[in-house]
Amino acid sequence: MNNSFKKPTVIVFDVNETLLDMTDVKKYKPGHESYQYAAKALGVNTEDMILVVALGWDIAGALAAGMQAAFIERKGQSLYPLANKPQYLRKDLVAIAHEIINSK
């Protein structure tokens, strides 16, 4: 029996815990305005943001706003068929994180 194990990779994200209210925007996902509003509120460009989600509808809005997007392929979830494809597409969050980090 082999008792060796692979050392886990530690991934650290800069997390900004900001609650944003879309009431003033008067547009909701997948409208690009909500994503642009979020970028402005956080003081960043949409081009510098990556939305990671398991909902294809949200991918469409993020891409329309100029963001990058990553789709987690979960059972029962699919990409929105009329939208562009995300830059990242994997089965779980860890795989997506590795791909994003390795692409930079």
Assigned domain for 19 exists: no
Assigned domain for 11 exists: no
- Reading the block at residue 94, the tokens are 């860890």
The residue ranges of the chain whose pLDDT is under 70 are 1-16, 104
Assigned domain for 77 exists: yes
pTM for the full predicted model: 0.75
Neighbour order of strands in the sheet with 68-72: 50-53, 68-72, 88-90
* Structural domains counted in the chain: 1
For residue 50, what is the domain's CATH number? Answer: 3.40.50.1000
Of 60, 65, 104, which is closest to residue 82 (Cα–Cα)?
60
Assigned domain for 8 exists: no
Assigned domain for 50 exists: yes
The confidence score (pLDDT) of residue 24 equals 78
Assigned domain for 12 exists: no
Range of the structural domain that residue 82 is part of: 28-103
